[in-house]
Structure 1
Amino acid sequence: MEFRLLGPFEARHDGQPVELGSRRQERCVLALLLLDLGHVVSTDRLIDLLWAGRPPGSARSAVQTYIGRLRASLTPYGVRITTHGDGYLVAAEGHQVDVEEFNRLTYRASDVTDPAERIRLLDRALALWRGPLLADTADDALRERLHGPLGALRLTAVELRAKAQLALGQHAHVITDLTPLVDRDPTQEQLVAALMTALYRGSRQADALRLYQVTRQVLVDQLGIEPGARLREVHRRILRDDHRLDRPGLPCYEVRIRDESLPWSVGGHPALEFCNTFAGWGHEPPLPGSEWLRGYRTLAVWTGYVGLVDDVAVNRLVELDRRDPGSATAVLDEARALRTRLYTCLTDPENRSAFDAVARAAEAAAKALVFRAEASGRGRWWPDLAAGLRVPVHAAAWSAAELLADPRRLTIRVCPDKRCGWLFLDESGLRRWCSTATCGRPATAAPCPSS
């Protein structure tokens, strides 16, 4: 059976519409179960969502009545609602829910490197949206509680498609797709940046600059913040008629070194940059595109980019990766594990196991350092190239130890936006948000996590 929740609630069997639930709340109960297809939804959660935290005394018996009626309606179509403890579950059993299909297509598209194929998958995903979630079933308050993570993923899909379209020179499509979205919500800075780039490529430089001014005014008036670093960079390059904006395939807010796409350095310290990702750590599952550390070569190039090793070391590491990719992959896994422990250590100072793990890595790094004179005559500790492929891990661990011993450790902030989680230094004590342009909303507007 096919269920459509992205818009008015619809149920279809063999392509024909099926009427389910004579009452709106019955359909709403079914929709809530379908949003967690294959997982148990507790009665308490159903009651809380249906009555917005103010249930009548008969709420529990009402839910039981709704479930009984739905079972009677769905059984002829092979849809089973089973009871598990104090909750209910709709068994998947081959049934299709458009929300599940949207998630599948979006995450699949994030793993595709060919921009044409990415556009094809995201077109299919975004075409599933026929209107607001449960447009004729949920009220605005319920929709706001349910829509948060799903709405964030939809914006990610739109952004990924825009990037792919820009990579193929389809700036006219980007203008058509993004203009109404940006008009409705000019605080979505990544979409604004993509639209400004498309306008510039379409010889509409003045329109792009006007869009920036409008967006900046909204951000200042509504949120009390200036545009983020990425959006400011697009604006600066348009003003300078920067030819890099004309190059398809390279988002202008990324850094590209040796054909590797790296995130901007905005945290203020290499150890923080090591932890940071484009879409942040606070979203489960991770948003598409959140992993910048995709290969050992990227790790080696990044280590040189932030100044933890020199160009000679980067050249050597890239060559070692080419000769022994299997060992390089194992070291990459070690680097990712160190990154996770460091992030935990920096965001949860009470986590001693995370600190101890980083400390052991730093101690191992200390045994693989050499003291060399730089051109200026100033001495500096560098990872010994004799460590081979593990040089970047030693470099990151040593940088982490330096930060943990630095008084600035006490000024580290974590961006509170649920979509972000970037780390940054804030010696002024005044910043509330990071500067990656992925966030900036008040904390009360952060999407509610789904159960």
Structure 2
Amino acid sequence: MRFGVLGALAVWTDGGGLVPVPGIKVRALLADLLVHEGRPVPADRLIDDLWGEALPGNPAGALSAKVSQLRRVLEDAEPGARALVESRPAGYLLAAEAGRVDARRFESLVDGARAAADPKARADLLGEALGTWRGAAFADFADEPFARPAAARLEELRLTALEEHAEVRLELGEHGALAGELAAAVAAHPLRERLRAAHMRALYRAGRQHEALAGFDRFRTLLADELGLDPGVELTGLHGAILRRDPVLDVPVRPAPPRSNLPVPPTGLIGRDARSPTSAPGSAPTGWSP
């Protein structure tokens, strides 16, 4: 069974079927357990998160009922899944493996990208990580105090991953696509200097120097109006380099792969009778399964 919090709360079976989780309190209970990433949550904490000051007549009994409902939903969807909701002396926890929760998979992919030496591998991993997002983290519990810190942390990680992805794609020469793709992200997060810098570089390399400079001017004005600050040294330096068309901003030349002196191995056609083809016309290659 898999769980999703990078968007509206979602549960899927191993086969990919969506599991409906009825009842706002049951969904809130599941979200709260997912916020804690496998750590036990005391019953008192869960009661406060789910009901706040509007406590039911028997809070402990009401919580126990919601736990039972959640276990029943999981069990009905996949036999044995009720055991994922564990009760321990320290509280309740969701015993889901890290790879079965989209937020934890996202973080694992980002960590893998940062450890990768090859830019293409880094870009692929970051792209896969960003692809796990379906919307705002814990979207249907964004206003709940128990979810806000986790949602804010994940959103910051997403934006940082987006910036890193843009930078490595610039390194790979993908400035043309980035010049358009980053526009929406910059508009949504206009005060993120690193994101602005990546967009300015992409615009400049795409031959849109005027737009890159205009973006800096908008950022400088907004930063002064909102925070009373000036752009940082790196962004100011980038602005100056764009003004003077500094060659340092040109697309980096990636070294060609090393050539081998080994002879080219003979193909399977050498020495084969032309009247004896390896397979019948129209058949699939060996090992291919449509």
Whether TM exceeds 0.5 here: the answer is yes
CA distance in 1, matches of 2:172, 2:41: 43
Paired position in structure 1 for 2:262: none
Matched, 1:103 2:107: yes
Listed as ranges, the matches of 1:154-303 within 5 Å are 154-248=158-252
CA distance in 2, matches of 1:240, 1:176: 23
Matched, 1:140 2:138: no
Paired position in structure 1 for 2:96: 92
Matched, 1:151 2:161: no
Q: Is the 8 A contact 2:142 2:151 kept in 1?
A: no
Listed as ranges, the matches of 1:26-425 within 5 Å are 26-50=26-50, 54-58=52-56, 59-76=59-76, 77=78, 78-79=80-81, 80-93=84-97, 96-135=100-139, 137-142=140-145, 144-248=148-252
Q: Which amino acid aligns with 2:55?
A: G
Name the SS of the counterpart of 2:173 in structure 1.
coil
Task: Give a deviation string over 1:189-240, Cα, whole Å, max 9, x none.
Answer: 1000111011111111110111011111111111121111221111111112
Q: Which amino acid aligns with 1:152?
A: E
CA distance in 2, matches of 1:99, 1:107: 13
Structure of greater Rg = 2
CA distance in 2, matches of 1:167, 1:139: 36
Name the SS of the counterpart of 1:92 in structure 2.
coil
CA distance in 1, matches of 2:120, 2:181: 16
Shift of 1:141: 4.8
Shift of 1:112: 0.8
Q: Is the 8 A contact 1:164 1:249 kept in 2?
A: no
Paired position in structure 1 for 2:258: none
CA distance in 2, matches of 1:249, 1:156: 26
* Aligned residues between the structures: 246
Shift of 1:95: 6.6
Q: Is the 8 A contact 1:122 1:161 kept in 2?
A: yes
Calculate the TM-score normalised by the size of structure 2: 0.78
Shift of 1:89: 0.9
**Larger relative contact order (C-alpha < 8 A, sep ≥ 6)?**
2
Task: Give a deviation string over 1:297-335, Cα, whole Å, max 9, x none.
Answer: xxxxxxxxxxxxxxxxxxxxxxxxxxxxxxxxxxxxxxx
Task: Give a deviation string over 1:109-132, Cα, whole Å, max 9, x none.
Answer: 111121111111111111111111
Structure 1 portions without partners, runs of 5+: 251-451
Shift of 1:43: 3.1
Task: Give a deviation string over 1:165-186, Cα, whole Å, max 9, x none.
Answer: 0101110222233210110111
Shift of 1:23: 1.0
Paired position in structure 2 for 1:16: 17
Name the SS of the counterpart of 1:17 in structure 2.
coil
More strand by share: 1
CA distance in 2, matches of 1:129, 1:75: 26
Calculate the TM-score normalised by the size of structure 1: 0.51
Q: Is the 8 A contact 1:105 1:122 kept in 2?
A: yes
CA distance in 1, matches of 2:113, 2:98: 22
Q: Is the 8 A contact 2:201 2:249 kept in 1?
A: yes
CA distance in 2, matches of 1:28, 1:132: 16
Shift of 1:49: 4.0
Q: Which amino acid aligns with 2:18?
A: P
Q: Which amino acid aligns with 1:173?
A: A
Task: Give a deviation string over 1:21-73, Cα, whole Å, max 9, x none.
Answer: x212211211221233322123344345445xx43233554333221211222
Runs of 4+ in structure 1 off by over 4 angstroms are none
CA distance in 2, matches of 1:172, 1:62: 56
Q: Which amino acid aligns with 1:19?
A: P
The verdict on how the C-alpha distance between 1:184 and 1:94 changes in structure 2, with shifts beyond 3 A counting, is closer
Q: Is the 8 A contact 2:137 2:155 kept in 1?
A: no
The verdict on how the C-alpha distance between 1:118 and 1:94 changes in structure 2, with shifts beyond 3 A counting, is closer
Q: Which amino acid aligns with 2:141?
A: A
